[in-house]
């Protein structure tokens, strides 16, 4: 598990070269960096939750998302539809004849438009039965169409929700992106104000150019890229959400 918040502060101070400097790198500044990092980890690595609510007659708009939820991603609102079954064996034979084998495992490619249309008709049936009729508004509200009647129906939905409540809850799998983002925010903060020294000189005429601001900005960019390298990639295929 991740260290305590006090140890996290110490790690951030050491990572930017100010291990003992509690004046320039204060606890409040570090807590702000850690809070921002926690928020980003929660947003980008959010958990998927499942919720439900019952319809109310003539009410189309609902706000069912829990307090720890970020946004609703999918609605499952059953609506009436008619199922049309295939014609039987002859239909299956036609589907076989009007397609082309593309490998030795039985995979076939259809070149008849009516077969393709049948696939989309089947998908429409599925959507109307399990996933259509519900629309997400502004990420947090649900709009149902058609208008719910007197019969109560249960509407299910998927939503993205908070993964960690506090900085002490971050699990090992997310520690590296968490610290990377905290370091990026800290470097950006040190690139301005007292941490942005460009040169130092003494009364004896000795001077030194530091370019601290530029170095902090370069490290901030590097840490942001490191954080982005941990983000989940897009997965192919059909999935919810």
HSE-up of residue 199 (Cα within 13 Å, Cβ side) = 7
Is residue 99 within 8 Å of residue 108, measured between CB atoms? yes
**241 residues of the chain, pLDDT tens digit each:** 578 999 999 999 999 888 888 888 899 999 999 999 999 999 899 999 999 999 999 999 999 999 889 899 888 887 654 444 455 555 555 555 556 777 776 666 666 666 667 766 776 666 655 555 788 888 899 999 888 888 888 999 999 999 999 999 999 999 999 999 999 999 999 888 666 666 666 666 666 666 778 888 899 999 999 999 998 776 444 444 4
H or E, element range at 110: strand 108-110
- Give the three-class secondary structure for 211: coil
Is residue 136 within 8 Å of residue 73, measured between CB atoms? yes
Q: Which of 135, 87, 148 is nearest to 115 (CA)?
A: 87
- Give the three-class secondary structure for 15: helix
| pLDDT given for residue 180 in this prediction | 96
| pLDDT given for residue 74 in this prediction | 87
Q: How far apart are CA 199 and CA 209, in angstroms?
A: 4
Q: How far apart are CA 106 and CA 220, in angstroms?
A: 53
| pLDDT given for residue 202 in this prediction | 63
| pLDDT given for residue 2 in this prediction | 77
| pLDDT given for residue 238 in this prediction | 44
Q: How far apart are CA 157 and CA 184, in angstroms?
A: 35
């Amino acid at each position: 598990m991740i260290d305590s918040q006090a140890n996290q502060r110490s790690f951030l101070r050491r990572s930017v070269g100010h291990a003992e400097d509690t004046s320039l790198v204060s606890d409040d500044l570090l807590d702000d960096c850690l809070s921002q990092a926690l928020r980003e980890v929660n947003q980008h690595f959010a958990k998927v939750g499942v919720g439900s609510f019952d319809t109310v007659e003539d009410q189309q708009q609902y706000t069912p998302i829990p307090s720890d939820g970020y946004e609703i991603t999918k609605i499952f609102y059953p609506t009436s539809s008619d199922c049309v079954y295939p014609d039987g064996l002859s239909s299956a034979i036609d589907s076989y004849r009007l397609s082309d084998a593309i490998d030795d495992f039985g995979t076939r490619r259809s070149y008849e438009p009516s077969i393709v249309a049948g696939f989309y008709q089947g998908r429409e049936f599925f959507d109307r039965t399990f996933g259509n009729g519900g629309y997400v508004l502004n990420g947090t509200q649900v709009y149902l169409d058609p208008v719910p009647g007197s019969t109560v129906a249960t509407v299910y939905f998927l939503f993205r929700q908070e993964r960690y409540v506090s900085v002490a809850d971050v699990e090992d799998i997310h520690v590296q992106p968490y610290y990377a983002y905290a370091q990026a925010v800290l470097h950006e903060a040190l690139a301005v104000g007292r941490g942005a020294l460009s040169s130092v000189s003494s009364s004896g005429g000795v001077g030194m150019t530091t370019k601290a601001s530029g170095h902090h900005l370069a490290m901030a960019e590097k840490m942001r890229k490191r954080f982005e390298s941990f983000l989940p990639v897009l997965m192919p295929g059909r999935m919810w959400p």
